[in-house]
Amino acid sequence: MNHIDQPTLLQIKKIIGLVFPKAQVTGFNRTSLGNVNWVYIIKLKNPVKKLVLKVVYRKDREEQGILAKEVEVISLLNEKKVKGVPKVIEFDCGKKTAPWVYMLESFLEGCPIIECHENYQEKDLESMIKSVARLISGFQKIKYRKITEFEKQRPEFKTFPDYARFYLDKYCRVCDSYGKMPKTLIGRARKFVDKESTKITNREFVLNHSDVSSHNILLKNKKFSGIVDFEATQTMVPEFDLVTFYHEFLWRYPRLWILLLREYVKLNRVPANFPERLNIIMGYRSLRYLYIAVKNQIYQYLPGDIKRMEEVLNGEFIKTINYRV
């Protein structure tokens, strides 16, 4: 994959100097190492502020334009005035300033909900749920005629069944390679996705964050303060972000899941088969989560991922869908 060297303080100062010539860098800490980017929090003096620096450290993902995609998506959301999204401050894909592709974006104050939700009562999270419903709805005002991931060398699709079936063999093959996977689970999941996906007949798709997760949603003083990480953003059917949030977080809070759906339908027209559509997309999403866990050997997530998949197949998940007041 041809990983690159990490940024040095001298390189960081040079980058900051292009945007804030009088600024002093008083802090420079890496916060995470994802599959694609190094992410740093930079503290400044004159002006006093924090910025986020993202550096693509994998050559293959640089060639696919992964950071250019984030810049495009964030800029579009800023243009559409979607609240809770950072702003792009600087982007260099030509390596004019540093030997790697980078982006500077504004820093959103807040704590990932996975790190702080246990400090709150369930009712304290209701405001956040309503804000996330508005956020998802804001994304979905941006419409497309195809399913696309906004990346080079990635295929595009005109229907959801074509999209799901394109990845089905790979997902199932990888999942079946894991010796501790429950027998028949993946075979049942394959049949479910292959058959049920044909009921999703959209010819128009909407923008989805596609990782509305407990790590990316930020809270500050019990309030939603924003969402980060647009690496996975793509166009998709409207139910995608809803089931992602359930799979990642809201399974812990059945009442908040119902609240999210009720807030969402206040803002959006939904079809009569909305529960069935949620169930189908949840089935596809759950299979993808199983694939990711096995492929990346993050086996600590597998028990929950297996449970979510079973809930779809045995009819338990669809029973959780209650959005009528």
Domain chopping of the chain, boundaries: 9-106, 111-320
Give residue 58's pLDDT.
Answer: 78
Q: In angstroms, how far is the first alpha carbon of the chain from the final one? A: 52
User: What is the residue-averaged pLDDT of the chain?
Assistant: 94
Residue type (1 letter), 283 = G
Asked whether 86 and 52 are in contact (CB, 8 A), the reply is yes
| Residues whose CB is less than 8 angstroms from the CB of residue 281 and which lie 6 or more positions away in sequence, other chains included | 200, 237, 239, 240, 243
1 DSSP 8-state letter:
-
The two structure tokens encoding residue 93: 């894909």
Q: How many residues does the chain have?
A: 325
Site of tokens 């802090």: 27
Alpha helix stretches (DSSP H) within 31-159:
59-63, 66-79, 113-116, 126-139
Global confidence as pTM: 0.94
Give residue 98's pLDDT.
Answer: 85
Q: How far apart are CA 11 and CA 98, in angstroms?
A: 7
Q: How far apart are CA 129 and CA 243, in angstroms?
A: 14
For helices 302-313 and 185-196, give the axis angle rounded to 10 degrees: 50
User: What kind and span of H or E run contains 225?
Assistant: strand 223-227
* Cis peptide upstream of residue 155 (ω within 30 degrees of 0): no
Give residue 152's pLDDT.
Answer: 86
Give residue 35's pLDDT.
Answer: 56
**299 C-beta neighbours (distance < 10 Å), count:** 12
- Domain 111-320: homologous superfamily in CATH: Aminoglycoside phosphotransferase (APH), C-terminal lobe (3.90.1200.10)
Q: How far apart are CA 26 and CA 251, in angstroms?
A: 41
Strands 88-92 and 102-106, bridge-based pairing: antiparallel
To the question of domain 9-106 being in CATH 3.30.200.20, the answer is: yes
Q: How far apart are CA 26 and CA 8, in angstroms?
A: 14
Three-state secondary structure call for residue 211: coil
Q: Which of 71, 99, 75 is nearest to 15 (CA)?
A: 99
Model confidence pLDDT, tens digit, residues 260-313: 999 999 999 999 999 999 999 999 999 999 999 999 999 999 999 999 999 999
Q: Mean pLDDT in runs of 10 for the chain (325 residues)? A: 76 94 94 72 96 87 87 96 96 86 95 95 98 98 97 94 98 97 98 98 98 95 95 97 98 98 98 98 98 96 97 98 89
Q: How far apart are CA 87 and CA 191, in angstroms?
A: 42
